[in-house]
Amino acid sequence: MDIPIPIQCVPKDDPLSKSIIYTFPESSKSIDKEGNTLLRFPYSENTYWTAFKYMPLDYTSSLDIEIILITNDGYTYTISPLNRRAIDTWHDTTWAIPSIRVREHTGIFLRIHGSFEHLKGFRFNLLGFMDLYPATENYILMSEFDTYQFIFNNCGSIYNVEHPDYIRGIIDSAVKISTF
């Protein structure tokens, strides 16, 4: 499998059968307020998204891509910074991002700087693995300094952790996911 990602993000038993490669359909594309293209990460039960790549049909240059998170209260956070990303190369997602069903205006997105027209003929793939972490109600993405960043709840909520003392019960029972 040609997937250059950290070994801790691959299931210990039979990673090939646990892998999922998702191709974003045209219907998953939308435009943000600045005119950039958004691709929403899909729901896939017990899956954790770890990498993405894109392949153009008629394009030889790289694209400026970042991964953003939109919380239930409408705030947008960058979770993988804007970078010029090479074509036909796997790029990591910073965290193994839990796949949960989310509400309409929330979620995780690839934000590609450029419009739909600019991206005609591109195919975007997302790589995930099933069962990397135990199934639970809450997941917390931890910063590289082991501070709490974002909570994913299987009821469809995503929140930034601003005041950990107020949600101590959730934090104590959640599965913690560190950066790569």
pLDDT digits (tens, 9 = 90+) for 30-81: 889 899 999 999 999 999 999 898 887 666 678 899 999 999 889 999 999 9
Contacting residues for 32 by C-beta, under 8 A, at least 6 apart? 38, 111
**Spatial distance between the Cα atoms of 178 and 97, rounded to a whole number of angstroms:** 10
Report H helices in 23-158: none
* Local structure of residue 71 (DSSP, 8 states): -
Q: What is the CA radius of gyration of the chain?
A: 16
| pLDDT number for residue 175 | 92
Give residue-wise pLDDT tens across range 110-161. 999 976 676 777 889 999 999 888 899 999 999 888 888 899 998 888 988 8
3-state secondary structure of 38: strand
Do strands 157-160 and 148-153 pair parallel, antiparallel, or not at all (unpaired)? antiparallel
| pLDDT number for residue 2 | 52
The second-level CATH assignment, the architecture, of 7-133 is Sandwich (2.60)
| pLDDT number for residue 76 | 94
| pLDDT number for residue 28 | 83
Domain ranges of the chain: 7-133
